Chains A and B, each alone.
Chain A
């Protein structure tokens, strides 16, 4: 029985280090290539030795698909599906194609380089990939468009669907013959200010591999949060205060920028908004380029003005922080643990008119976490005590599908099986139960290294010759999708292909002579009359019964019903018994056997 095998190397009942191995109809595909942030040795990479034990990677894998590139937020960095890629392709050694979307391909090297700098230059680690490796790795990348079907080889094809979440995130359909797998990567079913919602058609895959980060959460509408955020900022600015928004370079930062930019435009506000330079500037550049990947509003208004060409948001300079008057500043990093955001925070913390808005999660131990949990006196380096008088606000903007969103996607795609990855086991359990209950499909949640096998029941396409099809449809009624239809033909299995042709053609092709197969049967009838009279009686009887068939009485004393021949002879011993010889070809088996059984019942007592 054909089967699909899925083995998560990372992200199985686990968050981060996304890396899933899929074997479908003899093809091996690796989905994502993430990294675990908890380790500093080789354990942070997925366990590629699982694959390499059987030989070289390139021989084993047909392709690698990267679903998206990370947001740059630390917590979300864990989910990033790309960080191990240079390690994988250059250090472990993989020369096959790597597929990702255009925006992902554009942003990927910047992110990798940034990450490499942090790890190698700052932390001083060795045994890490180099800049050259990143470049070499990127050469193997093939970029795909949305809804473009890419033929990896003759049988394997992949197709990308829009996934929301971050710029360039995509869901991938992997298809071999009529077996298919959809891998969602991270996705978002509710649109936000800069990206749309994930969408997939009713592709009915055999297996849907979905993330389940928020398997047990149903979120409130975004509007309230946005409104609160804007109101806070607006009020502070009106009071003459300064607003600090610590963000990471990609993703949510752009969302908040768009939000503020449109609000400033709408409300005709004049206070300056600044954006700390660096990675963010480059990122904004890509958002500007990939307008087709953004949401409806930005796409529609782009003709007048590209929304990412900010009118109110300018690049930040260190000196601006001391300027008087209200301002809003986006600064990196997002958890106030170092860098520019911390510097500005220290400058502004003393004034109760000012405000800091934390738009995301903060790791324990960071300044961000401390102030969020209500600490008002912070001990900085050098035993300084910083008193925090400014207001501290928390706004969560997350871009993963919640439980409802996951269910909605399953409803849209109508898969035959579902496999959950990228989530905590306990939460997955709940979602699994719900999926099985509501969609009546099997749901799996393998752990890392555990292989799930799914048996598929693929339909096998057979070519039918047009002549045969026309002949057969001409006989019956219109084809009905709901009812199976019986047809006669010869199935030829040759050269890995299936063809259904008419018997004559099959014979011709195979160079065989046609053999006739006839069944003959004798039926004894008690009839004292002469032979030709018996024949006449049989003829009349059959004519009466078989109204729809052509019954003929031939001059040589035989009867034909369609192609069936009936002859009558007197019994050699008993003249009162007549022997009816019924002969038919095997094609007419149905009619022939019916006829014999009819004749065996005897002739009706005729009045004459």
Chain B
């Protein structure tokens, strides 16, 4: 009551100023609070409370005025500080343009004595400035203000000033000239002057401001380079870290300029000099700087190869005599042909004497930067160094060759992340390199690692590695087989790896074939077991090599051919078609030159669809038959042509829905007498339910569905819902329940219209089109009438043409583990939990972290839904995901072991669907409150993997 009174008063007072005080205003409340405050602590409390609540856009200005008023009255610096920070917060309010309060904010600076408050006010100005970046005069003014305060004795104020200049300083040439007439200011020079400030924080801020200017598009002057180099020797790590960045920026801006080398009269390119300096920072005292430096090295690609190769250089010595590194020794051993001779004592004995004068212990420049970086104490630095190595090696093949030894060494790092990173790096540069045998040996040793990620990364690496000798291939095969026996779950990954290994090195595999197949010129050897994964692995290698080596099949024995036929059928993705003597090539692969439109199967798909869409006015019987045939054709097509499977399934599903709808609506059934209703109802309600399910599948299980298809799917769903309504209306007695249903249905029609307003013109003659025409009548009429209308509209409406998108893939999942083959039940004590490892591959699932769930069905019908952690999903390739997680099972005691089912589900939520997103977007600005935020709940789930049975046995707890 008080408040309202006061508001009214205020309204009268401020009638000259137009303040909209329609709602109980925040500003007024704040004013009251602040007036009530007796001590600074009180006022601070009020302000803190106030800051917790959001302020509407309309009242921001009013609140700011009130705050400013109190600001001038306030004697306590801490309250003023809070007010200043609130001003900044308020200026950030979306939709509020702070130019009206800028003058006031600048004015407050003038009489402020407290440095902290000054700094906070400058921060507020920065916020205001960043909101008004497109206004150059505002920016100029703020920059001037900042320059004025640069001489302040407090580091905080200078800090903020530099930040302000960095964010708002003029960048464009034209403006700069204009500014010159006003204040003759060269922002770069002003900032550069503060590189030598006495406070390290200000120095850092100056460098950061300079970087900010660069980011905003100002070309930095080369003259700063010298200054920046001096900053590299600063005492404070944050200064050095920023300086490294600055040097990097300059090296990218002026790579080709020439700079002199101090204490000699030589000159080098700037980028080389900068590279040397940053390399030097890799052995800095602070690890933050080291990480920074190592990271930046990777992106300096213009550096000369001479400097680049120095980074891997390290001269060894022992008692002043030159020593060879282990890498050099390994290489020599290898080239002299006695690889892996074993180490002897004194093998690394130093050789020639070194000229003491020539040894340079502290290397200037790039020398050994990576050697240091890779041996660093902190794994962050090592990872950064590996990444940099990767980037540089990708652009320089000769460097790639050189850094190989070092990368291989990193495979044995103590931190798994580093190992993984270096394996990935190696894979990325593997096009440029061929592994030496000793290197391969080291690489393969890692195959025994207990971490699955490491092993799989290594398999991927082997897929694209070049091996130089047949011994190398043999070694790789042996190690992979060892891996297979130790970790049988790696089967798929190893087979795939061998497939590529074979197809890349056919000539190296050829001499190994007799040994691998253990054939003998005179004796028949026993036929190996066809189910042995190791034998399959060997065959995969051989068959893939044989693809491009026509002489190889001559070495096969009879059973090999038989096994080929079997594997070609069962593991067709691993075994390529071979041109075998005496046999025709079974299926000619589709040559990739045919574009999708010319592809006969694609044509077939389109033709059959055309046929369906054209024959709309056939008798119902005819339509049904045609649909049935087409659906069958499409399903078969999907099975034959894997690349068209998604599309064929999608259309088949759609046609299936249509077919169900037609069947359910058959006129003669609806006309029969009451006793037969039951049967009819059962059929119709089942059809409606199925259609609903199918539409959800269509919407959420396929990747690549566009909004054109979404409309059609939603339309189909609407029809299904109409059908449900009709069925309910016919079966239920009484009108009351129908009211609600009708209303709900009409709401849905309405929201459909809102969502797809742009698509409506293309839906001439469809169910919804007709329905919208009748809408005014429907809204007013009784439920029974509505039902009647619906029934006729449904029957009369035409069949919508479903356009096909370019690419359509059906989401699929395959549970690799548990395999479901085990006869040994998983025993655990009831009431406790047991962890079940689940490993599955997912294909074409969008946002698997949010949608994929694991379901466990117990024999008693109890179902459990498990949400895997986001970290359980890995992304090995585009469109592919891998789920490796643990599911915790628990149950009360059973007398017998029994099977539970594990399956993967795709959770969906129509609020999260594209349609909902569209509504949200279109209506957001108009009425933000009208639509609640789409919740992250689950509306339903679609099973999309084959269930796997797991045998478990919860034992009763022993007392």
Residues of chain A whose beta carbon lies under 8 Å from any beta carbon of chain B: 190-191, 193, 196-197, 199-202, 216-228, 230-232, 234, 262, 265-268, 295-297, 372-374, 391-395, 403-404, 407-408, 411-412, 427, 430, 433-434, 438, 473, 478-482
- Known pairs A197-B377, A218-B315; A268 contacts B448 (CB<8 A): yes
Bound CA–CA A197/B325 (angstroms): 22
Residue contact B412 to A228, C-beta cutoff 8 Å: no
Residue contact A394 to B343, C-beta cutoff 8 Å: yes
Q: Which of B757-805 contact A (CB under 8 A)?
A: none
Residue contact B415 to A202, C-beta cutoff 8 Å: no
Which of B151, B319, B327, B377 is close to A216, meaning CB atoms less than 8 Å apart?
Answer: B319
- B955 CB → nearest A CB, Å: 28
Residue contact B449 to A221, C-beta cutoff 8 Å: no
Residues of A within 8 A of B362 (CB): 404, 407-408, 411, 438
Beyond A202-B285, A295-B377, A478-B153, 17 additional contacts (C-beta under 8 Å) are A191-B375, A201-B285, A216-B319, A217-B317, A218-B314, A220-B323, A220-B325, A220-B348, A221-B374, A221-B375, A223-B412, A225-B326, A228-B343, A266-B450, A404-B361, A408-B362, A412-B285
- Known pairs A268-B486, A393-B343, A433-B356; A480 contacts B198 (CB<8 A): yes
Residues of B within 8 A of A297 (CB): 379, 414-415
- Known pairs A218-B317, A220-B316, A268-B448; A481 contacts B379 (CB<8 A): no
Q: Name which residue of chain A comes closest to B345, CB basis.
A: A394
Q: Does B442 contact A (CB under 8 A)?
A: yes
Residue contact A407 to B319, C-beta cutoff 8 Å: no
Residues of B within 8 A of A218 (CB): 314-318, 323, 361
Most chain B C-beta atoms within 10 Å of own C-beta, residue among A224, A268, A295: A224
Most chain B C-beta atoms within 10 Å of own C-beta, residue among A199, A220, A374: A220
Q: Does B409 contact A (CB under 8 A)?
A: yes
Bound CA–CA A200/B415 (angstroms): 25
Q: Which of B289-340 contact A (CB under 8 A)?
A: 314-320, 323, 325-327
Q: Which of B387-420 contact A (CB under 8 A)?
A: 409-410, 412-415
Q: Name which residue of chain A comes closest to B321, CB basis.
A: A216
Most chain B C-beta atoms within 10 Å of own C-beta, residue among A193, A217, A391: A217
**Which 7 A-B pairs rank lowest in CB-CB distance, beginning with the nearest?**
A224-B326, A191-B377, A394-B345, A223-B409, A268-B450, A481-B198, A267-B448
Which of A232, A430, A481 is close to B196, meaning CB atoms less than 8 Å apart?
Answer: A481
Q: Does B433 contact A (CB under 8 A)?
A: no
A-B contact list, 14 entries, CB within 8 Å? A202-B235, A216-B317, A220-B316, A220-B323, A223-B410, A224-B327, A231-B445, A373-B345, A393-B342, A408-B362, A411-B362, A430-B320, A433-B356, A480-B198
Residue contact B375 to A262, C-beta cutoff 8 Å: no
Q: Does B258 contact A (CB under 8 A)?
A: no
- Known pairs A216-B320, A227-B409, A434-B359; A221 contacts B343 (CB<8 A): no
Contacts across chains A and B counted by CB atoms under 8 Å? 118
Q: Does B283 contact A (CB under 8 A)?
A: yes
Residues of chain B whose beta carbon lies under 8 Å from any beta carbon of chain A: 151, 153, 196, 198, 235, 283, 285, 314-320, 323, 325-327, 342-345, 348, 356, 359, 361-362, 371, 374-379, 409-410, 412-415, 442, 445, 448-451, 486
- B848 CB → nearest A CB, Å: 28
Which of A219, A231, A234, A372 is close to B345, meaning CB atoms less than 8 Å apart?
Answer: A372
Bound CA–CA A404/B379 (angstroms): 21
Residue contact B409 to A221, C-beta cutoff 8 Å: yes
Bound CA–CA A525/B315 (angstroms): 82
- Known pairs A220-B326, A230-B412, A404-B361; A296 contacts B356 (CB<8 A): no
Residues of A within 8 A of B377 (CB): 191, 196-197, 295-296
- B805 CB → nearest A CB, Å: 47
Residues of A within 8 A of B314 (CB): 218, 220-221
Residues of A within 8 A of B348 (CB): 220
Which of B323, B414, B445 is close to A193, meaning CB atoms less than 8 Å apart?
Answer: B414
- B294 CB → nearest A CB, Å: 16
- Known pairs A220-B316, A227-B442; A296 contacts B343 (CB<8 A): no
- A56 CB → nearest B CB, Å: 42
Residues of B within 8 A of A223 (CB): 375, 409-410, 412-413
- B948 CB → nearest A CB, Å: 26
- B379 CB → nearest A CB, Å: 6
Residue contact A265 to B445, C-beta cutoff 8 Å: no
Residues of A within 8 A of B451 (CB): 266
- Known pairs A199-B285, A407-B362, A412-B285; A219 contacts B316 (CB<8 A): yes
Residue contact A226 to B415, C-beta cutoff 8 Å: no
Residues of A within 8 A of B317 (CB): 216-218, 403
Residues of A within 8 A of B448 (CB): 266-268
Residues of B within 8 A of A478 (CB): 151, 153
Bound CA–CA A190/B374 (angstroms): 11
- A261 CB → nearest B CB, Å: 11
Q: Name which residue of chain A comes closest to B320, CB basis.
A: A216
- Known pairs A218-B317, A296-B377, A393-B343; A408 contacts B283 (CB<8 A): yes
Bound CA–CA A473/B316 (angstroms): 55
Which of B151, B359, B376, B450 is close to A265, meaning CB atoms less than 8 Å apart?
Answer: B450
- A356 CB → nearest B CB, Å: 12
Residues of A within 8 A of B153 (CB): 473, 478
- Known pairs A190-B375, A228-B343; A427 contacts B319 (CB<8 A): yes
Residues of B within 8 A of A374 (CB): 345
Bound CA–CA A582/B359 (angstroms): 71
Residues of A within 8 A of B319 (CB): 216-217, 427
- A173 CB → nearest B CB, Å: 15
Residues of B within 8 A of A202 (CB): 235, 285
Bound CA–CA A412/B327 (angstroms): 29
Bound CA–CA A295/B382 (angstroms): 14
Residues of B within 8 A of A227 (CB): 409, 412, 442
- A390 CB → nearest B CB, Å: 13
Bound CA–CA A61/B486 (angstroms): 64
Bound CA–CA A190/B375 (angstroms): 7
Bound CA–CA A296/B418 (angstroms): 13
Bound CA–CA A228/B342 (angstroms): 9
Residues of B within 8 A of A234 (CB): 445
Bound CA–CA A272/B344 (angstroms): 26
Residues of B within 8 A of A480 (CB): 198
Residues of A within 8 A of B320 (CB): 216, 427, 430
Bound CA–CA A392/B362 (angstroms): 37
Residues of B within 8 A of A393 (CB): 342-343
- A204 CB → nearest B CB, Å: 9
Residue contact A403 to B361, C-beta cutoff 8 Å: yes
Residue contact A296 to B378, C-beta cutoff 8 Å: yes
Bound CA–CA A228/B325 (angstroms): 13
Q: Name which residue of chain B comes closest to A190, CB basis.
A: B375
Bound CA–CA A226/B317 (angstroms): 19
- A281 CB → nearest B CB, Å: 24
Bound CA–CA A602/B318 (angstroms): 81
Q: Name which residue of chain B comes closest to A473, CB basis.
A: B153
Residues of B within 8 A of A232 (CB): 343
- B330 CB → nearest A CB, Å: 8
Most chain A C-beta atoms within 10 Å of own C-beta, residue among B323, B344, B377, B448: B377
Bound CA–CA A225/B283 (angstroms): 22
Residues of B within 8 A of A219 (CB): 316
Residue contact A266 to B449, C-beta cutoff 8 Å: yes
Residue contact B409 to A224, C-beta cutoff 8 Å: yes
Residue contact B361 to A438, C-beta cutoff 8 Å: yes
Q: Name which residue of chain A comes closest to B328, CB basis.
A: A220
Residues of B within 8 A of A433 (CB): 356
Bound CA–CA A287/B413 (angstroms): 22
- Known pairs A230-B412, A297-B414, A478-B151; A221 contacts B379 (CB<8 A): no
Residues of B within 8 A of A265 (CB): 450
Q: Name which residue of chain A comes closest to B378, CB basis.
A: A296
Most chain B C-beta atoms within 10 Å of own C-beta, residue among A202, A218, A391: A218
Which of A216, A296, A479 is close to B198, meaning CB atoms less than 8 Å apart?
Answer: A479
Bound CA–CA A478/B153 (angstroms): 7
Bound CA–CA A433/B320 (angstroms): 13
